[in-house]
Amino acid sequence: MNLVLLLFVLIPVIEIYLLIKIGSQIGALTTILLIFTTAIIGVYYAKYEGLNTLKSGYAQLIKNEIPKYEVLSGAVIAFAAVLLIIPGFATDILGFLLIFPLSRKLIFKIFAKKFNHNKDVKNDFIEGDFEDIEDDNDKKI
């Protein structure tokens, strides 16, 4: 079965289960208020972290460096904001984990180790200098 289709079905099932379980413990109104509160706080904090990432990216560009981490962080922060807007507790937990810089760096390190396949790539370059020598035979008119 396709992973995307499985996630498309599984995530709402998990969210409904958690909403029912938590809602039965703390009450329906409290659950609804908690969902709205996490969405508002999450989007505000995503905006704050996004601006910090943007400033850091500009600083990298001023230093003439490629802002790889900042670009990836910006995309992950935008995804985290979407997760926080979606009602549910599992998506909120994942969204907050992706927004906080410490956990985001930890997640990046885990994925970098898993997907880093460039360790065995050799750079087959020979460095050297050349000199252009003019020959009298090359000057044919």
Question: Environment class of residue 111 by beta-carbon count within 10 Å: exposed (0-12), middle (13-18) or buried (19+)?
Answer: exposed
Q: What are the structure tokens assigned to 63, written together?
A: 């230093």
CB 11 within 8 A of CB 91: yes
Q: What pLDDT digit, counting tens, does each position of 105-120 carry? A: 998 888 888 877 655 5
Q: What pLDDT digit, counting tens, does each position of 32-84 carry? A: 999 999 999 988 998 999 999 999 999 999 999 889 889 999 999 999 999 99
* Half-sphere exposure (Cβ direction) of 141: Cα atoms closer than 13 Å: 0
Q: pLDDT class for 6, splitting at 50, 70, 90?
A: confident
